[in-house]
Structure 1
Amino acid sequence: MTKSFGSQNIWRDVSLTLPAGEVNALLGPSGTGKSVFLKTLIGLLHPEQGSVIIDGTDITQCSAKELYEIRKLFGVLFQDGALFGSMSLYDNIAFPLREHTKKKEDEIRRIVMDKVELVGLAGAEDKLPGEISGGMRKRAGLARALVLDPEIILCDEPDSGLDPVRTAYISQLLIDINAEIDATILIVTHNINIARTIPDNIGMLFRKELVMFGPREVLLTSEQPVVKQFLAGDRFGPIGMSEEKDEAVAAAEAAMQAAGISGGGTKDDFSEIIPQVQPNPDMPVRQASIRHRQNVLNIINDLPPNAQAAIRASIAEEDRRAMESPETSATLVAMANHQFDYPAGHGFQAYDGATEQISTAGMATAVIDAPTQVVETPTEEIVVTEEITAVTDEGQASSRE
Structure 2
Amino acid sequence: MGVEVSVEGLTKSFGSQNIWRDVSLTLPSGEVSALLGPSGTGKSVFLKTLIGLLHPEQGSVIIDGTDITKCSSKELYEIRKLFGVLFQDGALFGSMSLYDNIAFPLREHTKKKEDNIRDIVMEKIDLVGLTGAEDKLPGEISGGMRKRAGLARALVLDPEIILCDEPDSGLDPVRTAYISQLLIDINAQIDATILIVTHNINIARTIPDNIGMLFRKELVMFGPREVLLTSEQPVVKQFLSGDRFGPIGMSEEKDEAVQKQEEEMQAAGIGGGGTKDDFSEIIPQVQPNPGQPERKAIERHRQRVHEILHTLPENAQEAIRRSQAEEDQIIAENRKHADKHDLGNGNGNGGNQQQSGGAGEWSTAPAGVAVAGSRSDTTTDVIGQHASDQPTRDWTTPDVSDAQTQPIDTSRFDSDRRDPRSS
Common fold: TM-score over 0.5? yes
How far has the Cα of 1:316 moved from its partner? 1.5
User: Partners in 2 of 1:265 and 1:111 — Cα distance?
Assistant: 44
Counterpart-to-counterpart distance in 2, 1:24 and 1:333: 19
Deviation of the 1:323 alpha carbon: 3.0
- Is residue 33 from structure 1 mapped to residue 42 from structure 2 by the alignment? yes
Q: Answer whether contact 2:298 2:383 (CA < 8 A) is retained.
A: no
Aligned to 1:284: 293
Kindly indicate whether residue 176 of structure 2 is the aligned counterpart of residue 167 of structure 1.
yes
Aligned residue runs from structure 1 range 2-401, under 5 A: 2-325=11-334, 326=337, 327-328=365-366, 335=384
Q: TM-score, normalised by structure 2?
A: 0.78
Instruction: Answer whether contact 2:92 2:146 (CA < 8 A) is retained.
Output: yes
1:164 to 1:139, Cα distance in 2 relative to 1, 3 A: same
Contact 2:327 2:383 in 1 (8 A): no
Hey, what's the Cα distance between the residues in 2 that align with 1:10 and 1:334? 38
Which structure's relative contact order is higher, taking Cα pairs within 8 Å and 6+ residues apart?
Answer: 2
Residue identity matched to 1:228 = K
In the TM superposition, what is the alpha-carbon distance from 1:162 to its structure 2 partner? 0.2
Where structure 2 has 5 or more consecutive residues not aligned to the other structure, the ranges are 1-9, 338-364, 370-379, 390-423
Counting aligned pairs with the same residue, the percent is 85
Cα RMSD for the two superposed structures: 1.6
The answer to whether the Cα contact below 8 Å between 2:284 and 2:381 also exists between their aligned partners in 1 is no
Relative to structure 1, is the Cα distance of residues 30 and 137 closer, same or farther in structure 2, using a 3 angstrom cutoff?
same
Deviation at 1:317, TM superposition (A): 2.0
Once residues 386 and 14 of structure 2 are traced to their aligned partners in structure 1, the CA distance between those partners, rounded to angstroms, is 48
How far the C-alpha of 1:319 sits from its partner, in A, is 2.1
**How many residues are paired up?**
340
Q: How far apart are residue 22 of structure 1 and its match?
A: 0.2
Mapped contact 2:287–2:382 kept (Cα < 8 A): no
Contact in 1 for aligned 2:88/2:167 (Cα 8 Å): yes
Asked whether the 8 Å contact 2:286–2:381 carries over to 1, the reply is no
In the TM superposition, what whole-angstrom CA distance separates every residue of 1:224-256 from its partner, at most 9, and x where no partner exists?
000000000000000000011111101110111
- Whichever residue aligns with residue 92 of structure 1, its letter is N
Aligned-residue offset at 1:334 = 5.5
Contact 1:153 1:186 in 2 (8 A): yes
Runs of 4+ displaced beyond 6 Å = none
- Three-state SS of the structure 1 residue aligned to 2:58 is coil
Q: CA deviation at 1:321?
A: 2.7
Q: Is the 8 A contact 1:323 1:333 kept in 2?
A: no
